């Protein structure tokens, strides 16, 4: 068989899982199912054991580049990471990956397209379904994975499957958008309808051929963006002008609904797109009273509740069918019957200028993370954590001075011409305008408290002189 290259789609924000999932760290990077590994890491873990597997190609936004790289490296992969200058949906993202896969592996390379924010409980059933799909795509078919429905779900699109073309493989007769409850019940009862998982398998050359036939503007725009892409460390930046001009569309609309070469591989693997808190609860498992508790949660005389705590004890007494999600800077309390309105709620918060709508208090960087502890007029306090070997950029500030107090580990601090090592309970002062850098030369995390003072404390008050991660922005 030809090489199989996974294409990891890292777009999407998962607003319906607010306040845990936000634009600054969306659901694919969160441990939602098992409480330990992220959905992105779980996606990588499912690849183990697939035949003829090549290094994955991830496609995602600039702001997630270091999160993607870190989690891929942690899983033992060194695949390519393509950076989209703007979100243009799956048709364009997969086209860019197809060009890169053909360059690396030739025309016969096969692609396994996987969103990285889904849950699949039965990894072996998933691998079996992939093997079935590969038997068809070698002959030029384009396969999608249809999930055997376990109930009349109204939140998914459906595939109407026709006659069998091989064991576990059926012809695609039609696509149906999200139905109402009555039609969903009819679909499930018929036995011929399957949930559209948004996962695909096909040869790169076949996908690009059909994209050129049915959506030539997308094909040509992505080809131009790829031809003028620029390598940046381990990333490939697609040309911004060309890619931003591409029309946004999904693989389903652009290609799969128009071709007669589409087939469906049946997938019965306890799949979920985790598109709601109820879906997360089902994936984790419910107790005898229909509750799902995540984190430090105490439930008392409550039924059908989804409760998640990220930073403190959350107690729920005498509630029914409620969603309670606690994070360090925001709490959601909602009726489960209205959870589809969470997205609209977040939109209203964003329109009102509330930063909590899109950004977490804790921000992740390639060297570690920082979290705001307190702020006020002319001051701000942060907890900074630098991973072993991590180095912040050599930088200065126009509007603020800083005090650093080490509370764990060892810090190497550069301040103008002076370089010093600080250990626990030692501190240093960085005057306004000083050229400085923070490094962790040790083997354990470096934790320090940073106290900023000045007339302006925004993250964009950074003048970078050198950065080992190649950053020119404020990320």
CATH at residue 382 = 2.60.120.10
Max CA-CA distance within the chain? Answer: 75
Check which CATH number belongs to the domain holding 22 and give it. 3.90.550.10
Q: What is the pLDDT of residues 369-401, one digit of tens each?
A: 999 999 899 999 999 999 999 999 999 999 999
Pick from 348, 423, 318, 438: which is nearest to 15 by CA?
348
Using one digit for the tens of pLDDT, what is the confidence trace for 102-146? 999 998 899 999 999 999 999 999 999 999 999 999 989 999 999
Q: Please report the pLDDT score of residue 1 as a whole number.
A: 66
Q: Are residues 237 and 118 in the same domain?
A: yes
72, burial (CB in 10 Å: exposed 0-12, middle 13-18, buried 19+):
buried
The whole-number pLDDT of residue 475 equals 52
The pTM is what? 0.88
| pLDDT (0 to 100) of residue 474 | 55
Q: Which residues of the chain have pLDDT under 50?
A: none
Look at residue 232 in the predicted model and tell me its pLDDT: 84
Q: Is residue 281 part of a domain?
A: no
Compute the distance between CA of residue 152 and CA of residue 180 in angstroms, rounded to an integer: 9
Looking at the fold, whether 301 and 155 belong to one and the same domain comes out as no
Considering the domain architecture, whether residues 225 and 345 belong to the same structural domain is answered as: no
**Domain, as residue range, for 126:** 4-272
> In this predicted model, what pLDDT tens digit does every residue of 100-111 receive, in sequence order?
999 999 988 999
> Is the residue at 83 inside a domain?
yes
Q: Are residues 263 and 345 in the same domain?
A: no
pLDDT value at residue 403: 97
Write phi, then psi, for 461 (nearest 5 degrees): -90, 65
Instruction: Output the DSSP codes for 371-437.
Output: EEEEEETTEEEEEEEE-TT-BPPEEE-SSEEEEEEEEES-EEEEETTEEEEE-TT-EEEE-TT--EE
User: Which pLDDT does position 165 carry in this prediction?
Assistant: 85
Chosen domain end from 272, 301, 322: 272
* 277 is a domain residue: no
pLDDT digits (tens, 9 = 90+) for 273-316: 999 999 999 999 999 999 999 999 999 999 999 999 999 999 99
pLDDT at site 428: 97
Instruction: Supply 75's token pair.
Output: 């899983």
Please name which of 27, 8, 12, 11 lies closest in space to residue 279, comparing C-alpha atoms. Answer: 27
């Amino acid at each position: 068989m030809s090489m199989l290259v996974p294409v990891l789609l890292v777009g999407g924000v998962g607003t319906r899982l607010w306040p845990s999932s936000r634009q600054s760290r969306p659901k694919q990077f969160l441990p939602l199912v098992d409480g330990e590994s992220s959905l992105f890491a779980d996606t990588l873990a499912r690849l183990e054991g697939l035949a003829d597997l090549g290094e994955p190609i991830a496609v995602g936004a600039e702001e997630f580049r270091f999160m993607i790289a870190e989690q891929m490296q942690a899983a033992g992969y060194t695949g390519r990471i393509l950076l989209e200058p703007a979100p243009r949906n799956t048709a364009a993202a997969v086209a860019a990956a197809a060009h890169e896969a053909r360059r690396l592996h030739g025309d016969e390379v096969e692609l396994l397209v996987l969103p990285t924010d889904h849950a699949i409980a039965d990894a072996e059933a998933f691998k079996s379904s992939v093997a079935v799909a590969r038997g068809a795509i070698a002959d030029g078919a384009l396969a999608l994975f249809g999930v055997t429905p376990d109930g009349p779900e109204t939140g998914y699109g459906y595939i109407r499957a026709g006659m069998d073309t091989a064991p576990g493989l059926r012809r695609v007769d039609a696509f149906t958008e999200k139905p109402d409850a009555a039609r969903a019940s009819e679909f499930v009862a018929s036995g011929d309808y399957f949930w559209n998982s948004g996962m695909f398998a096909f040869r790169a050359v076949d996908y690009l051929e059909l994209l050129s036939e049915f959506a030539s503007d997308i094909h040509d725009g992505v080809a131009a963006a790829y031809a003028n892409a620029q390598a940046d460390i381990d990333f490939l930046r697609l040309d911004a002008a060309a890619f931003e001009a591409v029309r946004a569309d999904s693989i389903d609309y652009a290609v799969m609904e128009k071709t007669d070469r589409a087939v469906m591989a049946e997938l019965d693997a306890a799949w979920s797109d985790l598109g709601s808190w109820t879906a997360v609860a089902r994936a984790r498992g419910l107790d005898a009273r229909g509750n799902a508790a995540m984190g430090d949660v105490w439930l008392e005389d409550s039924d059908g509740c989804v409760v998640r705590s990220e930073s403190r004890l959350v107690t729920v007494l005498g509630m029914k069918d409620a969603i309670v999600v606690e994070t360090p800077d925001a709490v959601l309390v909602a009726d489960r019957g209205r959870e589809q309105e969470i997205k609209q709620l977040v939109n209203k918060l964003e329109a009102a200028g509330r930063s909590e709508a899109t950004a977490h208090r804790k921000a992740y960087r390639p060297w570690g993370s920082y979290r705001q502890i307190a702020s006020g007029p002319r001051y701000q306090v942060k907890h900074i954590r630098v991973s072993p070997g991590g180095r912040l950029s050599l930088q200065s500030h126009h509007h603020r001075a800083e005090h650093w107090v080490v509370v764990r580990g060892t810090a190497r601090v550069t301040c103008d011409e002076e370089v010093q090592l600080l250990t626990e309970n030692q501190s240093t002062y960085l005057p306004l305008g000083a050229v400085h850098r923070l490094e962790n030369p040790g083997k354990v995390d470096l934790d320090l408290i940073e106290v900023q003072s000045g007339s302006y404390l925004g993250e964009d008050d950074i003048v970078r002189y050198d950065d080992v991660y190649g950053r020119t922005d404020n990320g």
